Amino acid sequence: MPEPQPLQRPADGPAPETHAPGDPDLADVRAAQRDPHAFDRLYRRYLDRIYSYAFYQLGDHHDAEDATERTFLAALAAIGRFQNEGSTFRAWLFRIAHNAIANSHRARRRRRTQPITDARQQAAPGADPASVVARADQQREIRAALARIPAERRQAILLRFVDELSAREIGAVLDRSEGAARVLLHRALRDLAAELDRGDA
């Protein structure tokens, strides 16, 4: 079972020197369109982020794996049709993930199962047990507060903080304008701050 890790960005993130304007992944996307074996680079780069996005929404590792698998298989099948028109590859990829997760939610409603809402905490070797427990409590509090805000606001927060998408990319994923995505994120943070405040009280 995978464990949450301290907030880290993948070391092999998009390489700035190969950027096409506006889309850091474009060179790798073009390579994958010529040779599908090159898709592996994009897969390794975005696996953790897509998986995290799915896990935080579905709250279950099995469902998150299923949604992640469907996302990448669909992306590979459609990569030849991707065009860099007003949106980035990662916004396109997260849009696929967004739809896969929505399908998982629908399937779950049919199955009527309960998600597991608690991700396990892994302690770093030699870490102070008291600080590990305190950090686990903080993470649990954040996840509980996130679970209480409206779904679309939660999605905006996950896309911004876990996946580091811009407001424009979030708008592309959630089918909104850039300005509307900013407002959504602002309201999401306001709701979350209120929920955290309520938790403290």
Q: What type of residue is 85? A: E
Tokens of residue 83, six digits: 């065009």
Residues from 19 through 78 that contact another protein (CB under 8 A) = 36-37, 39-40, 43-44, 47-49, 51-52, 55-56, 61, 64-65, 68-69, 72-73, 76-77
Q: How far is residue 95 from each of residues 51, 161, 163, measured CA to CA in Å? A: 13, 16, 13
Tokens of residue 102, six digits: 């929505």
Q: With respect to another protein, which residue has the nearer C-beta, 1 or 114?
A: 1
Angle at the Cα of 195 (from 115 to 95), degrees rounded to 5?
Answer: 55
Q: Please, which residues have CB within 8 angstroms of residue 13's CB and are 6 or more apart in sequence?
A: 45
- Fill in the per-residue mask, 118 to 137: x = in contact with another protein (CB under 8 A), - = not in contact: -x---------------x--
Residues from 162 through 181 that contact another protein (CB under 8 A) = 162, 164, 167, 179
Q: Are 18 and 10 within 8 A, CB to CB? A: no
The answer to the question of residue 189 lying near another protein (CB under 8 A) is: yes
Tokens of residue 183, six digits: 């407002």
- Given the rule CB under 8 A, which residues bind another protein? 1-9, 36-37, 39-40, 43-44, 47-49, 51-52, 55-56, 61, 64-65, 68-69, 72-73, 76-77, 119, 135, 138-139, 141-143, 146, 157-158, 160-162, 164, 167, 179, 182-183, 185-186, 189-190, 192-194, 196-197
